Amino acid sequence: MKFSVSLGNAENAVADGLVFFAFEGDSQKFAALDRKTGGLVSQAFKKKEFTGKKDESLFIRTSFSKILLVGLGKKAVFDANKMRNHCAGAFSGLKSMDCKTIAFECAHHESSVEFGRVCAEACVLGDYSFEKYKTPDKDDKKKTVDNISIFVPSDAAGVKKAVDEAGAVSACTNYCRELDNEPGNKATPSFLADQAKILAKTHKLKLRVLEKKELQKLGLNAFLSVSAGSSQPPKLIVLEWSPSNACDTVAVVGKGITFDSGGISLKPPNDMDKMKFDKSGACAVFGIMRAASELRLPVHVIGVIAATENMPSGSASKPGDLIKAYSGKTIEILNTDAEGRLALADAIAYVEKHYRPSAIIDLATLTGACVIALGDCASGLLSNNDELAERLKHAGDYSGERVWRLPLWDEYGEKIKSDFADLKNTGDGTSGTITAGMFLKNFVGEHTPWAHLDIAGTAWVT
C-alpha cells in the first residue's frame, strides 16, 4: 500500500473511494462536493439524513467514485485517537467495496500532521488480518487497497514525513501480530530463535541466542524452571540495535511463553487456547527491534526474549520447589502458572548485568488480574521511576495504546515473602498485578529506571 500527500481538497481526487469527515452542522464545508454530486450532499443535510453527528455516515455512489461522509460529532479539541478509529472504519468499509485507491480529506485543518499520522496508522493496521492457515475461497477474489492519498490544506511535506513514519511503525506492529498469531505447535522457542535470525539478517541487528546448556552454566535457574516440563528447549534471545550515533542504551524485555498450560498447576480448559498469546511481550520486542532499525533510532536498543513453553510432565517444576535465580535470590515456586515472572526475573537480571542499560522496560501478558482491572482499554504500568513512567504514559496517549499506573508500595512486598526462600512467586490472591510487579522489582537494581507493562488484557485486541 502506497501513500501520497497532496495539497488541496479530495473532491477532485481520482480514486475509487473518497472519504470526507464532517463535524456536526458542517454542511457549508462541502459546497464543492455538493456541486460534484448534483446536490446530494446538501439534500442529505437538509433532510437530516446526515448531519455530522458522531458515527453517522452517508454513502453516495457516483459515476466517478464511491463517496463516504463520516460524522465526527461536536467540534471540540482534535482527538487523534478517535480520529484513527474513524479512519479505520472508513478504510475497512471502502476496502470491502473493493476500492483499490482511496483518498482522504484531512478532517481538521489545525492538525494536518496529526491527521496524516493517524490516518496512515489506521490504514496499515486496518489492512491486517491473519489469513495464512485459511484455504482461500476460489470464487472470492482477495480485495486489496493499493494507494491511499491524503489531502491537506498545508505542509504536505511535513505530513508526508509523519505518514511515512507511521506507516513504517504500523508495519512493525503487523509483523508483531503475525508472529503472535502463530499457534503453539508452530511458534516454539526454536521458531522464535529462527525468526530472530531472519530479522537480524534483514535489519542489521546483532543476535545472540543462549541455549539451554549455557543458561544452565550461567545459572538462569528461574527461567529454566519454567521450561523444565517441556520437550522444547528454551532460548534466551538477545537482539541488538547499536548505531554508531547512539546516545543512550535502553533494554526491552519480552515474556515469550510460547504456550502457557499452567504447568503442574494446570489451567482450566476454557480459553486455554488463548495461551498461545503468552508470547505477546516477546512479539512486541520483535516489532520494537525492527522499528528501531527501520527508523534508524539514535539509541542502543537491546531486545531480550525469554522464550519457553510452560508444560506439565514428569520433569516439570512442582509447587513447593525452591530455586536460586540468576541474581542470587532464592524463590519458592508456589504456583507453576505464575511462570512469567520467573522467566522475566532472570532475563531482566541478565540484561542489567551484561549491558548496564539506562532503562529497562519489560512487556508481559503477566496476570489475569490485569484483565479484570483494566480490561482491554489499557495496559498495567508498574515502575520504580516517575520520569520513565511519565514518558511511557505520554507514549501510550500518543499511540492510543494507553497505560495505567499502579503503585508499588512496600506493603505489597510483604505479600510475596516466603517462609522457605527470599521470595515466593504468588501473593495472597489480592492485588495480583501489583504483587507480580513487586516480584519483578526484586530483580532490578535499585538505581536502574525500570518499567513493567502488563499487557495481558490489551494483547488480545491489538
Distances in whole angstroms, Cα of residue 294 to Cα of each of 60, 152, 240, 288: 40, 26, 13, 10
| Secondary structure of residue 301 in the 3-state scheme | strand
Residue 367 interacts with ligand BES (CB under 6 A): yes or no: yes
Q: What is the sign, positive or negative, of the torsion defined by CA atoms of 197, 199, 203, 209?
A: negative
Beta strands in 183-270 (DSSP E): 206-210, 235-241, 249-260
The Cα–Cα gap between 199 and 173 comes to 14
Closest CB to ligand BES among residues 11, 346: 346
Residue 196 interacts with ligand BES (CB under 6 A): yes or no: no
Closest CB to ligand BES among residues 52, 340: 340
Closest CB to Zn ion among residues 340, 432: 340
Binding mask 264-293 for Zn ion (x = CB under 5 A): --------------x---------------
* Per-residue cell: 451: 518499567
The Cα–Cα gap between 11 and 35 comes to 10
Question: Given 53, 82, 161, 267, which residue is catalytic?
Answer: 267
Residue found by looking up cell 532460548 in the block? 235
Please answer whether residues 137 and 91 qualify as being in contact, where contact means their C-beta atoms are separated by less than 8 angstroms: no
Q: Which 271-310 residues touch ligand BES, going by CB under 6 A?
A: 278
Binding mask 234-273 for ligand BES (x = CB under 6 A): --------------------------x-------------
Residue 432 interacts with ligand BES (CB under 6 A): yes or no: yes
Q: Does 206 participate in catalysis according to the annotation?
A: no
Beta strand 147-152 pairing with 101-105: parallel
The amino acid at residue 317 is S
Closest CB to ligand BES among residues 71, 432: 432
Provide the minimum distance between the beta carbon of 343 and ligand BES in the complex, in angstroms, as a whole number. Answer: 9
How would you list the strands of the sheet with 423-424, edge to edge? 322-324, 330-332, 423-424
Residue 337 interacts with ligand BES (CB under 6 A): yes or no: yes
Residue 426 binding result from ligand BES, Zn ion, none, given CB thresholds of 5 to 8 Å by partner type: ligand BES
Residue 338 interacts with ligand BES (CB under 6 A): yes or no: yes
Q: 10, 303, 456, 458: which one contacts ligand BES (CB under 6 A)?
A: 456
Residue 180 interacts with Zn ion (CB under 5 A): yes or no: no
Provide the minimum distance between the beta carbon of 280 and Zn ion in the complex, in angstroms, as a whole number. Answer: 10
Q: What is the sign, positive or negative, of the torsion defined by CA atoms of 372, 391, 241, 162?
A: positive
Q: 254, 263, 340, 380: which one contacts ligand BES (CB under 6 A)?
A: 340
Closest CB to ligand BES among residues 301, 369: 369
How many Å from the N-terminal Cα to the C-terminal Cα in the chain? 20
Closest CB to Zn ion among residues 201, 274: 274
Provide the minimum distance between the beta carbon of 89 and Zn ion in the complex, in angstroms, as a whole number. Answer: 33
| Secondary structure of residue 412 in the 3-state scheme | helix
The Cα–Cα gap between 357 and 450 comes to 10
DSSP annotation of 137? P
Q: Does 267 participate in catalysis according to the annotation?
A: yes
The size of the chain, in residues, is: 462
Please answer whether residues 112 and 155 qualify as being in contact, where contact means their C-beta atoms are separated by less than 8 angstroms: yes
Provide the minimum distance between the beta carbon of 459 and Zn ion in the complex, in angstroms, as a whole number. Answer: 11
Q: Site residues (CB under 5 A) for Zn ion?
A: 257, 260, 278, 337, 339-340
Which residues form the interface with ligand BES (CB under 6 A)?
260, 278, 335, 337-340, 365-369, 371, 426, 432, 456
Query: Which sequence positions are flagged as catalytic?
Result: 267, 341
